[in-house]
Chains A and B, each alone.
Chain A
């Protein structure tokens, strides 16, 4: 925070107008994007918020459904359960990779990083497609198991919660690995050596020294994954096959199929508030600005 430019007054923010307000000329560069986003993004989100209170009638009746409508309650329950399980599994598997990454040679690390980054960037549709092909009733796994006589009827691996979980964990692992790795790299290896020197076994020194030191990383990665899973649309809707509805797909059904804007936008706003709440919690644990690379 530089104090020399700290006395910026935006137009309209200095109603007394006694002093000619000193505006940093560089605001000219910022303004186009801000206007672009205000008109095309913030204003319509405000509209959606208003619809959630006003469609079909002005009032809270849409929000009332959150506690009274059994279908919505069940869907929210599904969403939270799936998000928690996905986050838990992604954290465990991601920790394994991040831990390995933090303790291998440089060459080895580049290979692991490569294997994490490629799936990270691969089209979400390409991945969902592959999982459908693999897990479907006529898919590769079932075909193979039937041919080998291991099973006599296809097992349902997709178009249910199991399929959603597999696809989502697959998508989220890289998101867990990257913040975890950043955290584990910061842990001083001498602390573990010290614990070993003081007589702790390898397991104990991990459990009582290393793991507690990595808790901020676990919390940060967990919250990030949780936020992403909450609003996830593509993978749950393809691998859930319409049978395991999560909040994002439920919203899209409300808007595009049953055309109930009130309910749809109410749920969208609930999702938005949830995400902001988790972010608020997260900002107390990790520096969000470092996470977004803004600092």
Chain B
């Protein structure tokens, strides 16, 4: 694999791989621990056991947290994706000084540190009576996820030919028809990617959730958070390992798809 590399570069490369292995430490740690048969955090010595995974998926505390996180992530993803996509299309079509200003404004939730957002949501939800409620957490997560949607949709709009939209308008389509029949189908991959990012951001969100939830809302990150603080339960290791492997699966399949698309593209170009 490294036939053409000089010896100096090989040393650099070796250093880079050491750092990359450091990045993988969490996987090396949590996976073996999740298989321990003991009731506390140890490496398995005499045999492995799946009891932590069983606990993760059958213990009502953990399963209810998984469900809560899923419901919250799905609903907030739907809200963030629809608002964010519409906004990105509008901004793309307007393209003026004002729209640049608005673009900066809608990116604020990822620029502003989450602790500041947490205080803001806490404040307003006290007034609205939404503390520790599904609508509160869902709306907060939607706000935090919106910038990811706007960014990914804007990126895919950048590759979209404005003239297609104009042609549709000239042929008599109104804005709603143009949007539904011309623009959205063309940028669907970008919207989907935005939705995936929105989902992950909600699924993994902890700081804001810590502030605006109490007893009712106990998302998976919140359960992990309190578990790590009390640190005794190896179920967290099972949970962490599951999350890590889901991530590998998603990233791996994404990269595989992209590589396949690129290959198909270059083949098509080669044929033409």
Interface residues of chain A, those whose CB is within 8 Å of chain B, are 1-2, 5-6, 8, 10, 24-30, 32-34, 36-37, 40-45, 47-48, 51, 93, 96-97, 99-101, 103-105, 107-108, 110, 112-119, 121-134, 136, 140, 170, 173-174, 202, 230-231, 233-234, 238, 247-248, 251-252, 255-256, 264-265, 268-269, 271-272, 275, 279, 292-295
Contacting residue for A93 out of B19, B107, B210, CB 8 A = B19
- Looking at chain A's contact residues, is the secondary structure mostly helix, strand, loop, or mixed? helix
**Contact of B228 with A43 in the complex, beta carbons under 8 Å:** no
Query: Does B116 belong to the interface (CB within 8 Å)?
Result: yes
Smallest Cβ distance from A117 to chain B, in angstroms? 5
State whether the Cβ of B23 lies closer than 8 Å to any Cβ in chain A.
yes
In angstroms, Cα B17 to Cα A71, docked, is 41
Instruction: State the CA gap A178–B5 with chains docked (Å).
Output: 23
Instruction: Of the listed stretches B46-54, B59-67, B80-88, name the one at the interface; the rest are far from the partner chain.
Output: B80-88
Contact B20 A116 (CB under 8 A): yes
Most A C-beta atoms less than 10 A away, residue of B83, B103, B200: B83
Which A residues are CB-close (under 8 A) to B241?
126
B206: min CB distance to chain A, Å: 6
The docked-state distance in angstroms from the alpha carbon of A122 to that of B109 is 21
Is A119 within 8 A of B155, CB to CB?
no
Q: How far is the CA of A104 from the CA of B20 in the complex (A)?
A: 15
User: Contacts A104-B2, A121-B251, A125-B204 given; 16 further ones with Cβ under 8 A?
Assistant: A24-B93, A29-B90, A30-B86, A37-B106, A40-B121, A44-B123, A100-B15, A123-B244, A129-B26, A130-B25, A133-B41, A136-B231, A170-B22, A252-B115, A252-B210, A294-B151
Residues of B within 8 A of A (CB): 1-2, 4-5, 8-9, 12-13, 15-17, 19-20, 22-27, 29-30, 33, 41, 43, 83-84, 86-87, 89-91, 93-99, 102-103, 105-109, 111-124, 139-140, 142-143, 146, 150-152, 154-155, 158, 175, 179, 200, 204, 206-207, 210-211, 221, 224-225, 228-229, 231, 236-237, 239-241, 243-244, 247-248, 250-252, 255, 259
Is B2 a contact partner of A108 (Cβ separation < 8 A)?
Answer: yes
Q: Could you tell me if B228 and A48 are in contact, using CB atoms closer than 8 angstroms?
A: no
Q: Is B113 touching A230 in the complex (CB atoms < 8 A)?
A: yes
Smallest CB–CB gap between B154 and chain A, Å?
5
Residue of B nearest to A271 (CB): B113
Complex: A268 Cα to B19 Cα, angstroms:
34
Q: Once the chains bind, are A8 and B98 in contact (CB under 8 Å)?
A: yes
Interface contact A112-B119, CB-CB below 8 Å: no
Beta-carbon contact of A45 and B1 below 8 Å: no
Cα A47 to Cα B126 with chains together (Å):
12
CA distance A251 to B113 in the complex (A): 12
Do A132 and B115 touch (CB < 8 A)?
A: no
Decide: A44 and B121 in contact? CB cutoff 8 A. yes
A45: chain B residues at CB < 8 Å are: 112, 116-117, 120
Q: A43-B124, A93-B19 are in contact. Are A26 and B105 (CB under 8 A)?
A: no
Q: Chain B: interface secondary structure?
A: helix
Query: B22 and A140: CB pair below 8 A?
Result: no
Q: Known: A43-B124, A48-B123, A115-B20. Is A129-B96 also a contact (CB below 8 A)?
A: no
A44 close to B115 (CB less than 8 A): no
Let me know if B224 and A126 touch, CB within 8 A: yes
Complexed CA–CA distance, A112 and B107 (Å): 29
> Contacts A114-B252, A272-B116 known; A34 to B240 CB distance under 8 Å?
no
Minimum Cβ distance to chain B for residue A257 (Å): 12
Q: Are A119 and B23 in contact (CB under 8 A)?
A: yes
